[in-house]
């Protein structure tokens, strides 16, 4: 089954050309099923690019998913046309009284910015808290993990002395966990962040279970016992060239970044990189939709029954 997105969203043509299974809103109205309601809070600067990346992964499921795009505020974007935001995104006040099966909160390029200096921090904290009562399962990605750890567990911001950028090998440490079901014992995933997630802080100050980690990047995949929240510290949604685009952007800006690790062939930025994490990424999102969202959520979203057998 496909994901369901607005008929005129740019992702429709992009994903169809890639033979990705999607369904437009007009067609979905003829389906006599109860699709999953997914809220997508997009904090990344290039909204359209991020939509395409996440929607690819969400499409690889037997479940029909209706996606509602959410913006954090109405400030003008430097990288996304205002017409696009006004046409396809809603504001939090529009949906705060609704319930959703799932919520994804993306990363944001704010790894070095104190939470108190993030202009939309109060609104984001409100949404994270709101999700505990109104969303069956929430997935936090990269910087959103750091934000959620602060809001939910009062953990301070941990910032790396040097940006983490590259593709790293991870290993499973909870082999029977359903969120990582089907993963290889070791798998690759990209990271691009200044945020740090010290393992000892996660263990000592939260109730999270670490499902997968890397000797270099630290915890990668974490979850609450009730499956209401999943935390992904990397960027499994990234395209083949996303890290390259970030690297060349930083060079142009005079930042002098390090070459992303384990990414360019022969560590040569003149050679085209290949995605080596795609199968794991598809499986991660498929598992989340099935085991953390579909299997937990009530048919009637006005009721909240959040227990599930592992």
How distant is the alpha carbon of residue 113 from its chain centre? Answer: 20
In the annotation, is 142 catalytic? Answer: yes
In the annotation, is 76 catalytic? Answer: no
The per-residue DSSP string of 39-89 comes to EEE--SSSHHHHHHHHHHHHTSSSS-EEEEEE-S--PPPSSS-HHHHHHHE
Catalytic residue among 134, 191, 237, 280: 237
What's the CA gap between 68 and 105, in Å, rounded?
12
Q: Does the annotation flag 75 for ligand binding?
A: no
Q: Does the annotation flag 192 for ligand binding?
A: yes
Catalytic residue among 134, 170, 191, 235: 235
- Return the axis-axis angle of helices 278-287 and 47-58, rounded to nearest 10°: 70
**Per-residue DSSP letter, 290:** I
What's the CA gap between 158 and 186, in Å, rounded?
26
What are the distances in angstroms from CA 309 to CA 178, 226, 251, 282, 290?
11, 9, 50, 24, 13
Q: Does the annotation flag 163 for ligand binding?
A: yes
Catalytic residue among 4, 134, 142, 213: 142
**Cα-flanking dihedrals φ and ψ of residue 133, to 5°?**
-105, -20
What's the CA gap between 90 and 179, in Å, rounded?
29
Active site residues: 142, 235, 237
* Residue list for the binding site: 163, 192, 249
Q: Residues annotated as binding site for substrate?
A: 163, 192, 249
């Amino acid at each position: 089954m496909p994901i369901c997105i607005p008929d005129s969203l740019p992702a429709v043509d992009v994903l169809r050309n890639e033979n990705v299974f999607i369904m437009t809103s007009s067609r979905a109205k003829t389906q006599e099923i109860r699709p999953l309601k997914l809220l997508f809070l997009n904090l990344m600067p290039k909204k359209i690019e991020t939509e395409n990346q996440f929607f690819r992964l969400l499409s690889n499921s037997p479940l029909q998913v209706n996606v509602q795009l959410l913006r954090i505020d109405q400030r003008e974007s430097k990288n996304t046309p205002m017409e696009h935001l006004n046409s396809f995104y809603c504001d939090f006040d529009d949906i705060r009284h609704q319930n959703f099966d799932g919520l994804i909160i993306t990363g944001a390029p704010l790894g070095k910015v104190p939470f108190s200096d993030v202009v939309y921090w109060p609104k984001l904290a409100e949404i994270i808290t709101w999700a505990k009562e109104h969303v069956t399962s929430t997935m936090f990605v990269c910087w959103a993990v750091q934000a959620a750890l602060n809001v939910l567990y009062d953990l301070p911001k941990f910032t790396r002395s040097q940006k983490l950028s590259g593709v790293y090998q991870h290993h499973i440490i909870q082999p029977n966990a359903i969120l990582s079901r089907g993963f290889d014992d070791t798998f690759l995933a990209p990271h691009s962040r200044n945020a740090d997630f010290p393992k000892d802080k996660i263990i000592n100050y939260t109730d999270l279970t670490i499902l997968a980690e890397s000797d270099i990047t630290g915890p990668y995949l974490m979850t609450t016992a009730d499956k209401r929240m999943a935390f992904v510290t990397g960027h499994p949604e990234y395209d083949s060239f996303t890290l390259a685009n970030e690297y060349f952007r930083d060079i142009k800006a005079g930042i002098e970044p390090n070459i992303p690790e384990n990414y360019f062939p022969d560590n040569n930025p003149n050679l085209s990189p290949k995605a080596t994490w795609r199968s794991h990424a598809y499986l991660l999102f498929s598992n989340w939709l099935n085991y953390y969202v579909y299997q937990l959520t009530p048919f009637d979203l006005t009721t909240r029954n959040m227990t599930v057998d592992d």
